[in-house]
Amino acid sequence: MQIREDGSVWPMIVCDWCKTPITDAKDGRVLWREIGRNPLNARCYPVYHTHKRCEDAFVENNKPSITEGVIHDPEFMPEFFPDGCVWPAWLWMSHGLDDDLERLLSTIKFDPGANVEKQ
């Protein structure tokens, strides 16, 4: 959270790579570790946020370790991986921060001009 000079409290998303605020949702990425398809898995993963320019460095420096095991599941993302291949235990997946925020805001009646001061 960010407390501004006028005392108002604003949510703020900080890049998990460079540790600076993501001030434009269109410049943000949401990343999560996709695990193999397991019907018992709740498929609710922790998420990380980066600027677009920071995504590659974040992913490159946070690769799955070989000690975390492997996926040997022909049902796992068959559109990307041929059957029978062995892949790391999880893979980074991502999409735009603006997509996530739109989905979140769609759960409430949101009037952007009602309570938000223009900057």
CA distance 73 to 83: 8
Question: Least distance (Å) from Zn ion to the CB of residue 83?
Answer: 37
CA distance 41 to 108: 28
**Contact letters for Zn ion, residues 52-91 (x by CB under 5 A):** --x-------------------------------------
The only residue of 29, 51, 71, 97 in contact with Zn ion, by rule CB under 5 A: 51
Identify which of 107, 101, 96 has the alpha carbon closest to the alpha carbon of residue 30: 96
Q: Which stretch binds Zn ion (CB under 5 A): 18-26, 70-78, 81-89, 96-104?
A: 18-26
Identify which of 14, 31, 23 has the alpha carbon closest to the alpha carbon of residue 100: 31
Q: Which residue is nearest to Zn ion (CB)?
A: 15
How much of the chain is in helix, strand and coil states, percent to nearest 5? 20, 25, 55
The only residue of 17, 48, 76, 90 in contact with Zn ion, by rule CB under 5 A: 17
List interacting residues with Zn ion (CB under 5 A): 15, 17-18, 51, 54
